[in-house]
Amino acid sequence: MTNTTTSREVTQPNVMGDAALVFRREFLSRITSNIFLATFAFALAMIIGGVIFFKVMQETDSDTVGLVGDQPAGAAEALPQLAEDAGFGAVEVETFDSREALEEAITSGDVQVGVVDGDELVVKTNEGTLPGFLALIWKEARVAELVNSPDFEAGQQQAVASATSELPLTELEPDPESEAKAGVGIALVVMLFLTIQLVGSMLMLSITEEKGNNIVELLLSSMSAKSLLLGKLAANGLVGLIQVVAMIGTTIVAVNVADLADIPTIPSSLLLVALLWFILGFAFFGVLIAAAASLAPSQEDAQSVMTPIIIVLLIGYMASFFVTANPGGSAERIVSLLPFVSPFVMPARFLSDELPIWEHVLALAIAVAALAGALQLGSRIYTRSVIHTDRKLGWLEAFRAEPVR
C-alpha cells in the first residue's frame, strides 16, 4: 500500500516560513500584553524618576566644609555668608578632632571639602569650584591675620609669601568615575537580569499555555516542533531586546542630559555591547527555559521543572555582583567568563575599562559555544516533550524519547 513512486519528491516542512508565522503571532501577543506594558512603563518611569531624583538632590543639597587643627582667624566664620554671596548656596562648617575623622567624613560624602591646619585642602575627588573658592578665602584670611598681627613688620617677605601660597590639595579618590561606573555597571546587571527573567517567564507561560490548552496538538498538525520553538524564541527575544534598548537608551540619554555630577558620560557603544550580550544570554537561558517548560503539562507543574534553570539564572546574577565589586580581580575575571555569568556582567566590565579585548572575545567565544550546546540540548528536549500534554516528563525521559514531528 505504501508509496512505491519514490522518484516523486517528498515535501519537507517549511521550517523558517512556519517559524515566521509563529514569530509574528507571538510577538504581537507579547508586546501588547498587559504584563509587558506594565513592566515596561514601570522600568522606564523608575529610570527617569531616579535620574530626576539625583539631579534634584544634587542641586538642593547643602555642602559641608570640615575643619581640623588651627585655622586662620575669621575664615570659618565668614565662609557661610561669603559662599552664599558667591552663589554656592548653603555651606555649613563642621569641626573634627582628627584628620582621620575628617577623611572618613569626606570619603562617606558627609563632608565635601576639608581644611587641615589651615594650609591643606582635602577632597574625595577634585571637582567643582568650591575647593578653589575655599583656597581663596583661606589665603585672604591668612594674609589678614598676618597683616593684623602686632608682630608684623614691613619687609617680612617670607611670611607674606607663605600666607599667599597656594593651599595644596589632597584627593582621597583621584578616579572619580570608578565608583560611579561600578554603580552604573550594577544597574546594567540588574536590567539585563530582570529583562531575561521577565521575557523568560513570558516564554514559559506561552509554552505552558499551549500545552495546558492543548493548542500544541493543533499547531503540530501544521508545523514542526522546531518551527514552533524557533518562532517563540525569536519573538520573545525581540520583545526583550526592545525592553533592553529602551531601558539602557533611556538611561544613557537621561544621565547625559541631566549631566549628573559623579556620574560619567556613558558611551553609546555600551548599548551595542549590552544588546549583543542580551541576545546571547536570552538565547542561552531562553532555550533552556523552553525545554523545561515543555516538560510540564500545565502552568501549575511548570514551577517545579523550572527550578534548576532558575537556580542557574540566580547563581549567574549573584556572581555578577561579586564581579562588579572588583572587576579587575583575578577570580572575578575568571568567574565573569562563565557562560551563565558573562551575559549579565560583561557590559558592566566593558564600562569599567577593566576588560581587555582578548578577554571580551574569549568570553564571547565561550558564550557562543555554550549557546550551541544549550540549543542542541534544549531543542532535543522541547521537540520530544512538547506534545506530551497528559503528564510531566523528566529531563532524562525526554532526552531519550523519540522526536515527534
Partner 1 sequence: MLELDGLHKRFGDVTALNGVSFTAKPGYITGFLGRNGAGKSTTMRSVFGLVNLDAGEIAWDGRPVDAGAMSRFGFMPEQRGLYRKMPIAKQVAYFAQLKGLDRRAADDAAAQLLDELGLGDRLGDKLEALSHGNQQRVQLATALAHKPDLCLLDEPFNGLDPSAVRVLNQYLRSLADQGRAVLFSSHQLDLVEGLCDEVVIVDDGVIRATGSVVDVRRTPGYSVLSLAFQSTPEWAQLANEGFTATGTRTGAVRMDNPEQLPHLLRLAGEAGALTTFSYDLPSLSNVFEEVTG
Residue with Cβ nearer partner 1 (38 or 136):
38
Site for partner 1 contains 7 (CB under 8 A): no
**Residue from 55, 99, 380, 405 binding partner 1 (CB under 8 A):** 405
Angle at CA of residue 197, ends 193 and 203, nearest 5°: 145
Q: Which of 207, 220, 255, 355 binds partner 1 (CB under 8 A)?
A: 220
Residue 222 as a binder of partner 1 (CB under 8 A): the answer is: yes
Q: Which three cell numbers stand for residue 90?
A: 548653603
Per CB under 8 A, 25 contacts partner 1: yes
x/- binding map, residues 329-368, to partner 1, per CB under 8 A? ----------------------------------------
Q: Does 226 bind partner 1 (CB under 8 A)?
A: no
Q: Which of 21, 143, 160, 169 binds partner 1 (CB under 8 A)?
A: 21
SS3 sequence of the chain = CCCCCCCCCCCCCCHHHHHHHHHHHHHHHHHCCHHHHHHHHHHHHHHHHHHHHHHHHHHHCCEEEEEECCCCCCHHHHHHHHHHHCCCCCEEEEECCCHHHHHHHHHHCCCCEEEECCCEEEECCCCCCHHHHHHHHHHHHHHHHHHHCCCCCCCCHHHHHHHHCCCCEEECCCCHHHHHHHHHHHHHHHHHHHHHHHHHHHHHHHHHHHHHCCHHHHHHCCCCHHHHHHHHHHHHHHHHHHHHHHHHHHHHHHHHHHCCCCCCCCCCHHHHHHHHHHHHHHHHHHHHHHHHHHHCCCHHHHHHHHHHHHHHHHHHHHHHHHHHHCCCCHHHHHHCCCCCCHHHHHHHHHHCCCCCHHHHHHHHHHHHHHHHHHHHHHHHHHHHHCCCCCCCCCHHHHHHCCCCC
Asked whether position 3 contacts partner 1 by CB under 8 A, the answer is: yes
Among 78, 314, 334, 404, binds partner 1 (CB under 8 A): 404
Between 29 and 170, CB nearer to partner 1: 29
> Cα angle vertex 28, ends 31, 378, to 5°?
85
Of the candidates 287, 387, 393, 398, which one interacts with partner 1 according to CB under 8 A?
A: 387
398 binds partner 1 (CB under 8 A): no
Nearest to partner 1 of 111, 230 (CB atom) = 230
Q: Which is nearer to partner 1, 176 or 403 (CB)?
A: 403
Q: Is 49 in the site for partner 1 (CB under 8 A)?
A: no
Measured from the CB atom, the residue of 71 and 224 that comes closer to partner 1 is 224
**What is the rounded CA–CA span in Å between residue 192 and residue 188?**
6
Is 223 a residue that touches partner 1 (CB under 8 A)? yes
Query: How many residues lie near partner 1 (CB under 8 A)?
Result: 33
Q: Does 18 bind partner 1 (CB under 8 A)?
A: yes
Mask of contacts with partner 1, 113-152, x by CB under 8 A?
----------------------------------------
Binding piece for partner 1, criterion CB under 8 A, among 55-63, 96-104, 177-185, 397-405:
397-405
Contact residue for partner 1 among 167, 180, 216, 230 (CB under 8 A): 216
CB-nearer residue toward partner 1: 222 or 268: 222
| Contacting positions for partner 1 (CB under 8 A) | 1-5, 8, 10-14, 18, 21, 25, 29, 209-210, 213-223, 387, 389, 402, 404-405
